[in-house]
């Protein structure tokens, strides 16, 4: 970051979740190879995630890895794939640059890219990327012999933790994320103090905007009328209140919906659909999570 505030770290993305392509150099070898000098094009979402995983922790305030533009709404992926794509780009602090044609945006696309609980991960003042704490390749493969699952985890400014369970296998998978794994960056082998605490789990996609409400925003004639629609819907408007301020005030619209609790030394178990991600914000039950100093 002594040179730039952001750096492209892979070849050009294309509108595919996991399909390998010869134009994406190094794709058939090791995507984490730091000596790949011909990054190419036609790189999938999964390829880029595997490429950045070994140095995701280099994204810190003042400099971030740019995972390339968002493909949400282009038409080549499913709704669940686009949700996973958007959430991981936000949690890894990649610049969120829309790549779709805004003139013909669908309500489904808008309801993904305007989810304030997900954008709050990107705009969190702590400014550090989530990192991959677990990867499993012993899962069902597709016709390209591609299939794996990931767990990504990262600290947020107020002591909360973002936890993403990504299923890039070829079928639905029961996944588990233990506190021991989630807080590995703070202490391996279950030595992190957070492992001994209870955590409330909040689903960051639970309050996704309905298609009807998203269409109402798209149908608004100008910015003023859009603001009125947002106000009527009580939807978070960052033009009026920044994410930094909203997080400091504890605005509930940025924190998702509570779906459970993980007890000390426990784990979170959930069925994750094929090519999708479950995205959570873990919040310490006694509200003292911010006392820990881990990165």
Q: Please spell the DSSP secondary structure of 46-75, one letter per residue.
A: HHHHHHHGGGGGG-BTTBEEE---B-TTSS
CA distance 201 to 256: 9
Tokens 């990107």 found at: 122
> Can you give the pTM of this predicted structure?
0.94
Residue 66's nearest CA partner among 81, 50, 52, 45 is 52
The continuous run of DSSP H or E covering 163 comes out as strand 161-167
Compute φ and ψ for 62, nearest 5 degrees.
Answer: 105, -15
Question: What is 147-159 written as a DSSP string?
Answer: --EEEEEEE-TTS
Strands 64-66 and 131-136, by their bridges, are unpaired
Residue 27 has pLDDT above 70, yes or no: no
pLDDT category of residue 294 using cuts at 50, 70 and 90: very low
What tens digit of pLDDT does each residue of 55-109 get? 999 999 999 999 999 999 999 999 999 999 999 999 999 999 999 999 999 999 9
Identify whether the C-beta of residue 178 lies closer than 8 Å to the C-beta of residue 153.
Answer: no
pLDDT category of residue 287 using cuts at 50, 70 and 90: low
């Amino acid at each position: 970051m002594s040179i730039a505030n952001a750096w492209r770290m892979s070849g050009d993305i294309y509108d595919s979740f996991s399909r390998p392509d010869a134009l994406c150099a190094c794709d058939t070898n090791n995507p984490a190879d730091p000596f790949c000098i011909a990054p190419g094009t036609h790189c999938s979402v999964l390829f880029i995630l595997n490429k950045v995983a070994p140095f995701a922790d280099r994204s810190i305030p003042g400099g971030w890895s740019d995972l390339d533009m968002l493909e949400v709404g282009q038409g080549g992926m499913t709704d669940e794939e686009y949700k996973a794509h958007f959430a991981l780009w936000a949690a890894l602090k990649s610049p969120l640059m829309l790549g779709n044609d805004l003139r013909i945006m669908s309500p489904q696309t808008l309801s993904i890219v305007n989810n304030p609980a997900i954008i709050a991960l990107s705009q969190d003042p702590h400014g550090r990327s989530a990192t991959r704490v677990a990867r499993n390749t012993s899962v069902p493969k597709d016709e390209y012999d591609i299939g794996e699952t990931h767990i990504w985890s990262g600290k947020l400014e107020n002591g909360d933790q973002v936890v993403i369970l990504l299923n890039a296998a070829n079928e639905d998978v029961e996944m588990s994320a233990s506190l021991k794994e989630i807080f590995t960056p703070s202490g391996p082998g279950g030595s992190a103090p957070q492992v001994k605490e209870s955590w409330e789990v909040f689903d960051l996609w639970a309050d996704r905007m309905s298609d009807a409400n998203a269409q109402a925003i798209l149908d608004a004639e100008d910015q003023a009328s859009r603001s009125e629609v947002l106000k009527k819907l009580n939807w978070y408007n960052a033009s009026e209140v920044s994410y930094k301020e909203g997080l400091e005030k504890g605005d509930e619209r940025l924190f998702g919906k509570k779906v459970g609790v993980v007890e000390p030394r426990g784990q979170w178990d959930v069925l994750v659909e094929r090519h999708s991600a479950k995205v959570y914000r873990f919040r310490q039950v006694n509200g003292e999570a911010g006392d820990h100093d881990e990165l």
